[in-house]
């Protein structure tokens, strides 16, 4: 697998998506092979984000690492739920992989930017989330061919799920932290 070539293509594809330029589809493959490549890259960067966050306290054990990777993968679940709910709500016939594959690379960019900026200052995390809303909105407009309102609803829904799911699971797992 040519990691750097895939990341370069994803970067250039995302530049085209944000600028709503035609031909962005040529940068991404919409096959299960392309999906597998995007997932491998996502989990590689998730591992690096965990390692970067563990510099002071030490790398977690294997079960801890797997739990952290599981929490990181909730972003992918949020993306998938956001796509499926939006497609069902507007009865869109856009293929799932057409939105999912570039969306995974968008989540990689979110991981990288979030890790770097959080290392500088935790107050920058909302800026990263706003950037992710913009990326997902652009994805909805380009890949989903959705209207401005639908693309914005997709972006906001996905980010709300991205932020809310880990908190909800934490509260369910730890009843003492639950507000009820």
Kindly list the domain boundaries of the chain, sorted by start residue.
3-177
Length of the chain: 180
Question: Is the per-residue pLDDT at 178 higher than 60?
Answer: no
Which pLDDT score, from 0 to 100, does residue 38 have?
94
- Mean pLDDT, residues 93-112: 93
Q: Which residue has the higher pLDDT, 2 or 148?
A: 148
Secondary structure element (H or E) that encloses residue 87, with its range: helix 62-90
168: confidence class by pLDDT, cuts 50, 70, 90: confident
Helical packing angle, 96-120 and 3-18, nearest 10° = 100
Rounded Cα gap, residues 26 and 48, in angstroms: 28
Non-local CB neighbours of 139 within 8 Å, separated by 6+ positions: 17, 99, 102, 103, 106, 151, 155
Rounded Cα gap, residues 15 and 165, in angstroms: 29
Residue corresponding to tokens 């959080």: 118
Rounded Cα gap, residues 44 and 109, in angstroms: 12
Contact at 8 Å (CB) between 75 and 107? yes
Rg (CA), the chain: 17
Average pLDDT value for the chain: 89
175: confidence class by pLDDT, cuts 50, 70, 90: low
Mean pLDDT lowest for which of 11-15, 29-33, 104-108, 145-149?
29-33
Rounded Cα gap, residues 79 and 89, in angstroms: 15
Mean pLDDT lowest for which of 34-38, 69-73, 144-148, 163-167?
163-167
**Does this model's pTM top 0.85?**
yes
- Mean pLDDT, residues 26-39: 90
103: confidence class by pLDDT, cuts 50, 70, 90: very high
Which pLDDT score, from 0 to 100, does residue 180 have?
58
Q: DSSP state, 28? A: S
Question: Is the per-residue pLDDT at 18 higher than 80?
Answer: yes
**What is Dmax (Cα atoms) for the chain?**
51
């Amino acid at each position: 697998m040519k990691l750097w070539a895939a990341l370069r293509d994803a970067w250039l594809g995302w530049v085209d998506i944000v600028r709503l330029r035609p031909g962005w589809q040529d940068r991404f493959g919409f096959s299960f092979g392309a999906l597998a490549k995007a997932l491998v890259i996502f989990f590689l960067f998730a591992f690096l984000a965990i390692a970067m966050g563990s510099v002071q306290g030490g790398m977690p054990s294997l079960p801890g690492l797997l739990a952290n990777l599981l929490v990181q993968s909730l972003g992918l679940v949020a993306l998938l739920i956001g796509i499926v709910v939006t497609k069902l709500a507007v009865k869109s016939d856009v293929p799932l992989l057409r939105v999912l594959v570039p969306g995974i690379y968008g989540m990689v960019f979110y991981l990288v930017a979030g890790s770097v900026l959080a290392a500088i200052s935790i107050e920058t995390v909302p800026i990263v989330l706003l950037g992710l809303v913009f990326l997902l909105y652009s994805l909805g407009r380009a890949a989903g061919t959705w209207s401005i309102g639908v693309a914005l609803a997709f972006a906001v829904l996905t980010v709300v799920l991205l932020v809310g799911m880990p908190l909800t699971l934490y509260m369910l797992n730890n009843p003492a932290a639950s507000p009820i």
